[in-house]
Structure 1
Amino acid sequence: MYSFISHIKFIFSATNQHGVHSPFVYSYITKGLYTKKKFATSKSVDILLKSIRYFNIKNLKINSESNLYLNNIKPNFPNLETKASQFEGIYLENCKDWNNTIIEKEIKNITWVFINNIHKSKEENTFWEKIKKQKEIKVSVDLFYCGILFFRKEQEKEHFKIRY
């Protein structure tokens, strides 16, 4: 029930690419997320795969034994590395997996963190709100099904809610 009510609230407060005033986020939405190619039926998996393609991710921190990796990521991106010392992308199944000490060691300016299920429960949503307020995170994109965090040092702190 929480997820349903949260989704209704989200729809009324979110925007599409026309409400975005950041060239970085606008480009990501229009050239990455809103492309016609569909990778998966699950919206969050589709967003993840489109993000990997748009940012041309070469190494992603994800459990290489997971079904998501084996069934969706590996077939579409066979050269993607999952065992590197620094990552361009980090996948977290939920907000509870956030660990500041690991994240801080592994981030680069271009790194993004994909967090699945940010509105699944009140607790997850509370975690999401805390995470996106951290000073290192400059841009957060809430797509309801998932959230994406960016560590762009050259950008002012901004939060976007985007309908997908």
Structure 2
Amino acid sequence: MLYQQRKYLQFLSKASNQHGVHSPFVYLLITKCFYKKTDKNLWKNFLNIKQQLLDNKKEIKVTDFGAGSKIFKSNNRKVSKIVKVAGISNKKATLLIKIIAYFKPKKILEIGTSLGLGTSAIKTGNNSAKILTLEGCPETSKVAQELFDKNNFTTTKIITGDFSKTLSTVTQNEEFDCIYFDGNHTKKATLNYFEECIKKVHNNSFFIFDDIYWNKEMQDSWETIKNHTKVTVTIDLFYFGIVFFRKEQAKEHFKIRV
């Protein structure tokens, strides 16, 4: 936690707002998306779904394939507790809803479903989107599926299994408008997922990476991703790192306060 706090202070010292941004694409993204007020109805809808998970007192056994939890000491965890301490924060959910609502991607891949709260933010941002979401843990996957069924997420599909096996199967025949990376927070896994997914991007695709300041490994991953030859524009929001592949854009990196 101290690592992230220190990095946040460093981030604030370098980050800016829309002033001084000369790219029309990025300027509009900042002013019409990041700094735009969240639609009250969308936010109310998300909070209603979140409350359903907060009301779920069921205890499940979590199988963790990633970097592990910084908070939980046991794999036996209450659903409500997971949501409170490890679920997507309201700050990040707000940003995710606004980003998805702004770009309106039709085909979305999420790597790391967990209990389905992040998926719900994506769905809230664009209800008509077709979402394919990958989860490693069978128990959390079941909870997410119940949540999706209850809220009529008919265009959302979960694939359960180790990402090292399920991701390559998914990307083999699919092309995505948006990919949200919220799974294994290690450098090796993150870069492997990135390399696998970049094969199936088009000019207007974009990636969203969660927790780019989770640890030094994630920061190193982010720097490697920024320097990839196919990447043109990146936006560091601290909470998320967003990557674009627009060939008409000059390669540029931004740190934006939100």
TM norm structure 2: 0.58
- Unaligned residue ranges in structure 2 (runs of 5+): 47-88, 133-172
Match of 1:72 in 2: 121
Alignment of 1:100-119 (within 5 A): 100-119=194-213
CA spacing shift, 1:161–1:86, aligned 2, 3 Å: same
Match of 1:45 in 2: 93
Shifted more, 46-55 versus 80-89: the winner is 80-89
Question: Shift of residue 102 of structure 1?
Answer: 2.1
Equivalent pairs counted in the alignment come to: 164
Alignment of 1:132-143 (within 5 A): 132-143=226-237
Match of 2:148 in 1: none
1:37-65, CA deviations, whole angstroms, 9 ceiling, x for partnerless residues?
A: 16475222222211111111111111595
**C-alpha separation in 1, matches of 2:35 and 2:198:** 30
Q: Which amino acid aligns with 1:59?
A: K
2:179–2:207 Cα contact (<8 Å) kept: yes
* Identical counterparts, % of pairs: 38
Q: Which amino acid aligns with 1:45?
A: A
CA spacing shift, 1:74–1:12, aligned 2, 3 Å: same
2:206–2:244 Cα contact (<8 Å) kept: yes
Flag the structure with higher helix content: 2
Q: Which amino acid aligns with 2:252?
A: E
Match of 2:29 in 1: 28
- Unaligned residue ranges in structure 1 (runs of 5+): none
Question: Shift of residue 101 of structure 1?
Answer: 3.9
**C-alpha separation in 2, matches of 1:125 and 1:63:** 18
CA spacing shift, 1:112–1:23, aligned 2, 3 Å: same
Shifted more, 146-155 versus 88-97: the winner is 88-97
Question: Shift of residue 72 of structure 1?
Answer: 2.5
1:63–1:82 Cα contact (<8 Å) kept: no
1:97 equivalent in alignment to 2:190:
yes
CA spacing shift, 1:142–1:75, aligned 2, 3 Å: closer
1:63–1:69 Cα contact (<8 Å) kept: no
**C-alpha separation in 2, matches of 1:82 and 1:90:** 10
1:78-117, CA deviations, whole angstroms, 9 ceiling, x for partnerless residues?
A: 3210248211100001564342442232100000000000
* Higher relative contact order structure (alpha carbons within 8 Å, sequence separation ≥ 6): 1
1:114–1:149 Cα contact (<8 Å) kept: yes
Shifted more, 45-54 versus 31-40: the winner is 31-40
Q: Which amino acid aligns with 1:158?
A: E
CA spacing shift, 1:106–1:64, aligned 2, 3 Å: same
**C-alpha separation in 2, matches of 1:161 and 1:143:** 6
Match of 2:151 in 1: none
CA RMSD in angstroms comes to 2.1
